[in-house]
Amino acid sequence: MTELLTAAQMRAIEAAAIASGEVTGLELMERAGRGVVEAIFEEWPELAPSWGPTPKPPEYLLQDDEEGKLRAVVLCGPGNNGGDGFVVARLLHEAGWGVEVFLYGDAEKLPQDARANYERWMKAGTIAMLDTYLARRKWGCDILIDALFGTGLSRPLCGFGDLFWNTSDARDCHVPQFGHPRGRPAIVSIDITSGVCSDSGRAFNLEDCNPNAISAHLTVTFHRAKLGHFLSEGPQYTDRVIVKDVGLTLRPNEVRPVVTISAPYANWLEKDDDHKYKHGHVLILSGGVGSGGAARLAARGALRIGAGVVTVGCPAAALVENAAQLNAVMLREIGDSGDLADVLGDERINALCVGPGLGLGDRERELVSFILGEGGVKPRPTVLDADALTLLAADQELFSRLHSDCVLTPHAGEFARLFPDIAEKLNAPSSVGPFYSKVDATRDAARRAGCVVLFKGANTVIADPKGGCSINTSVYDRRAPWLATAGSGDVLAGFIAGIMARQFAPVYAAWMGAWLHTECAIKFGPGLIAEDLPEQLPAVFRDLGV
Ligand SMILES: NC(=O)C1=CN([C@@H]2O[C@H](COP(=O)(O)OP(=O)(O)OC[C@H]3O[C@@H](n4cnc5c(N)ncnc54)[C@H](O)[C@@H]3O)[C@@H](O)[C@H]2O)[C@@H](O)CC1
Ligand SMILES: Nc1ncnc2c1ncn2[C@@H]1O[C@H](COP(=O)(O)OP(=O)(O)O)[C@@H](O)[C@H]1O
Ligand SMILES: [K+]
C-alpha cells in the first residue's frame, strides 16, 4: 500500500517539516536534486561515475567535445522545480558531465531556494534562455532533465511538447545501451512531467498546441508519488516513476491520503476448517433466455474466490439453458419478487450480486427494488453492476434506498448515467488547475450514494461514503489492457460478492476483488477472455501463499 498525495498535501507536509525546524527548504531541495541524480545512476548504471570504464559517448558528441564527456541538458522553470534542476546540474557537473542549463522565466523572480541554487550553479557554469534551446532543434545530450514545472503548474504551457517532434539530431542521439529505440536522449522529469496536473493526471491542453506535456522515460518524485502519476493521462507521459525519500515524515493526522491497493494478506483469503456454508452463500440474479452468460461468469468468479456456495436465480424459461452450463453453481427459479422472497428465506444467503445480464424490464426493477429493502426484506451485502446501475440511474426512489452494505461498480458510461453532474465536472475542459480528478468524482459519488463506489477503468478508484479512497492501479508494471474484454466486469462483480460472502466489509471486498482481478489478468497475459479470469485464481493464491 502506497500513499498518493495531492500537490496541496505535499506542500503541507513540506511546510510542516520546515516550520518545525526539522529541515530547511534549501536542504530539502538539495535532497531532491541528489535523489534525482541517484535515480538516474540506478536506472542507467553505466552512467554512474563508479561504473567501470568510461562509457563511450555517441559519435556526434565526440565532434564538439574532445574530452568525450557525457552530456546533460537541464531545462529549468520559474519555480522550485527549476530549483531542483539547478541542483541536478551542479551534481552532474561535479560528477564530470558536460552540463548545459536553459531557463524559462526570469532569474530575478525565482523563489528564494531556487534562486540560491541558481547562484551556486552560476559559479560552475552558464545559463541561457530556454528559447535558444528550442530554436537550436538539437538534443545535444545523453540525458535531458525536465525541471520546468512540478506540482505548482496551474496553467497550460505551449510549445514544450513540440521540442520532442522537431529535433533534427534525434537519429544521431541513438545510444543503444540506454534502451531508447526512438533515438532520443533519456528524458528524466523531476517530480512530474511538465504539463501534467499533479492532482488529476490530466494534461493542461491548449487547443492550438499539441502535445502540451513532456514525455519522459523516467520521473523522479519525492517522499510519495502524486495522484497525477497514476490517474488519467499521467501514466502515458512517463514510462516509470521512482519515489525518492527526502527525509520527510508523513503526518497522517493532518492529511488523509489516497492509497494504492497492494496484495491482500494470505491469511485473509485462507479458509478455516469449517463447512461450506461457513464460507458464505452468494445469490446471483440472471436475465432471461439467452442472457445468462454474464451471471454465469459472475457465479464462477464468486465460487473460485472462495464463497462456499453460489446460486444463480433465473426465470423458469432460462432454467434449462443455465442447467446445461452450470455444475458446481446451483440454480433456482426466480421469476418475480415472490420467488426471490422464498429464496431469501434462507438466511445463509449472505451476499447478493445483481445486474450482469439482468435486463431492464419491470421484472428486473421489481427484483432490484426488493433486494434494496422493499417489503421489509433485510438488507444484505449487495454488488450492483451493469443493468442494475442503469435501473438505479432511471429511478431516484430506487437510488435513495442504497445502503451502506452496497457496492456500485460502474464503468465510465454507467458512472455518467448514475452521476451525470459529477461526470460532467470530471470531463469538462478546463484551463486552470488543479483539475477535478477521478478520485474527487468517486468520493463525491460514494457520498451521494451512501455506499462504496468502484469506478472502473485502467485505474479503478474505490471510495467509501466517509471519504476513504484507494486506487487499484493497472499501469506501469501492473499494466493489463487486455482486461478490457467483454464480460471481465461481470467476473469482477462476482469476485466482490464472493469476498463479501466471506464476511469482509464491502470496501475491503471491493479492493481485494479489484486487485485480484488485475492480478489474474497479469498472470494470464494477452489473449485473455473473461472466462480465463476465475481460472487464474488458484495460481494467484499460490503466489500469495494462500
Ligand atoms: N517546497 C519545497 O521545499 C520543495 C519543493 N520541491 C520542488 O518544488 C516543486 C514545486 O515548486 P513550486 O511550487 O515553486 O512550483 P513549480 O516549480 O512547479 O512552478 C511554479 C511556478 O510556475 C508558475 N507557473 C505556473 N503555471 C505556469 C505557466 N503555465 N506558465 C508559466 N508559469 C507558470 C507559477 O506562477 C510559479 O512561479 C515540486 O514539484 C518539487 O520539484 C523540491 O525541491 C522539494 C522541496
Ligand atoms: N485499459 C485497461 N487496463 C486494465 N483494466 C481495464 C482497462 N480497461 C478496463 N479495464 C477493466 O476491465 C473491466 C471491464 O469491465 P466492464 O467495463 O464492466 O466490462 P463488461 O461490461 O464487458 O464486463 C473493469 O474491471 C475495468 O477496470
Ligand atoms: K518537471
pLDDT tens readout for residues 449-497: 999 999 999 999 999 999 999 999 999 999 999 999 999 999 999 999 9
For the packed helices 362-371 and 337-344, what is the interaxial angle rounded to 10 degrees? 30
**Residue 501 or residue 64, greater confidence:** 501
Residues with CB under 6 A from ligand 1: 14, 25, 28-29, 32, 77-84, 111, 149-157, 190-191, 222
pLDDT band at 55 (very low <50, low <70, confident <90, very high): low
Give the pLDDT confidence of 88-107 residue by residue, as tens digits.
999 999 999 999 999 999 99
**Across 262-285, average pLDDT:** 85
Measured in Å, residue 114 CA sits from the centre of ligand 3 at 14
pLDDT band at 375 (very low <50, low <70, confident <90, very high): confident
pLDDT of residue 57: 53
When the candidates are 3.30.590.10, 3.40.1190.20, 3.40.50.10490, 3.40.50.20, the CATH number that belongs to 266-544 is: 3.40.1190.20
Number of the ligand closest to the Cα of 298:
2
Give the pLDDT confidence of 410-445 residue by residue, as tens digits.
999 999 999 999 999 999 987 788 999 999 999 999
pLDDT band at 231 (very low <50, low <70, confident <90, very high): very high
pLDDT of residue 91: 97
Lowest model confidence (mean pLDDT) among 260-269, 384-393, 521-530 = 260-269
Lowest model confidence (mean pLDDT) among 29-38, 271-280, 508-517 = 271-280
Measured in Å, residue 244 CA sits from the centre of ligand 1 at 18
pLDDT of residue 138: 78
**Across 161-177, average pLDDT:** 50
The bridge status of strand 281-285 relative to strand 349-354 is parallel
Residue 244: which residues within 8 A CB-CB, separation 6 or more? 31, 32, 35, 36, 38, 39, 220, 221, 222
CB atoms within 10 A of CB 293: 20
**Residue 206 or residue 345, greater confidence:** 345
Ligand 2 atom with the shortest distance to the CA of 474: 4
Distances (CA, A) of 536 to 106, 516, 519: 57, 9, 9
**Residue 540 or residue 67, greater confidence:** 540
pLDDT of residue 59: 52
Task: Fold for 7-255, please state it.
Answer: Rossmann fold (3.40.50)
Say whether 152 counts as a known binding-site residue: yes
pLDDT band at 274 (very low <50, low <70, confident <90, very high): confident
Asked whether the predicted pLDDT for residue 86 surpasses 60, the reply is yes
Asked whether the CA dihedral 163, 166, 167, 173 is positive or negative, the reply is: positive
Q: Which amino acid is at 227?
A: L
Asked whether the predicted pLDDT for residue 24 surpasses 70, the reply is yes
Lowest model confidence (mean pLDDT) among 115-119, 369-373, 376-380, 438-442 = 376-380
pLDDT of residue 62: 46
**Residue 450 or residue 55, greater confidence:** 450
CA 251 to chain centre: 23
- The per-residue DSSP string of 308-339 comes to SEEEEEE-GGGHHHHHHH-SSSEEEE--SHHH
Instruction: Please state, for a pLDDT cut of 90, what percent of the chain lies above it.
Output: 77
Say whether 527 counts as a known binding-site residue: no
Asked whether the predicted pLDDT for residue 64 surpasses 90, the reply is no
Nearest to 258 by CA among 191, 202, 198, 215: 198
Domain ranges of the chain: 7-255, 266-544
The residue to which cell 471519504 is assigned: 467
Residues with CB under 6 A from ligand 2: 411, 456-458, 460, 474, 480-481, 483-484, 486-490, 492, 517
Asked whether the predicted pLDDT for residue 159 surpasses 70, the reply is no
- 400-439: b or e for each residue (b if 16 or more CB lie within 10 Å)? ebbebbbbbbbbeebbbebbeebbeebeeebeebbbbbbb
pLDDT of residue 337: 95
Rounded (10°) CA dihedral 180, 186, 190, 196: -50
Asked whether the predicted pLDDT for residue 167 surpasses 60, the reply is no
Say whether 72 counts as a known binding-site residue: no
**Across 156-162, average pLDDT:** 69
- Indicate which residue's Cα is closest to atom 16 of ligand 2: 489
Best of 408, 456, 471 for a ligand 2 pocket test (most atoms within 8 Å of beta carbon): 456
pLDDT band at 137 (very low <50, low <70, confident <90, very high): confident
Its pTM stands at: 0.93
Give bridge partners of residue 206 from the DSSP assignment: 209
pLDDT of residue 66: 44
On the question of a cis peptide bond just before residue 211, with omega within 30 degrees of 0, the verdict is yes
**Across 135-144, average pLDDT:** 84
Nearest to 133 by CA among 157, 103, 99: 103
Quote the mean pLDDT of the chain: 90
pLDDT of residue 160: 67
pLDDT of residue 186: 87
Say whether 96 counts as a known binding-site residue: no
Say whether 166 counts as a known binding-site residue: no
Best of 149, 205, 214, 242 for a ligand 1 pocket test (most atoms within 8 Å of beta carbon): 149
pLDDT band at 208 (very low <50, low <70, confident <90, very high): low
Instruction: Please state, for a pLDDT cut of 70, what percent of the chain lies above it.
Output: 90
Give the pLDDT confidence of 487-513 residue by residue, as tens digits.
999 999 999 999 999 999 999 999 999
**Residue 525 or residue 252, greater confidence:** 525
Give the pLDDT confidence of 286-318 residue by residue, as tens digits.
999 999 999 999 999 999 999 999 999 999 999
Number of the ligand closest to the Cα of 150:
1
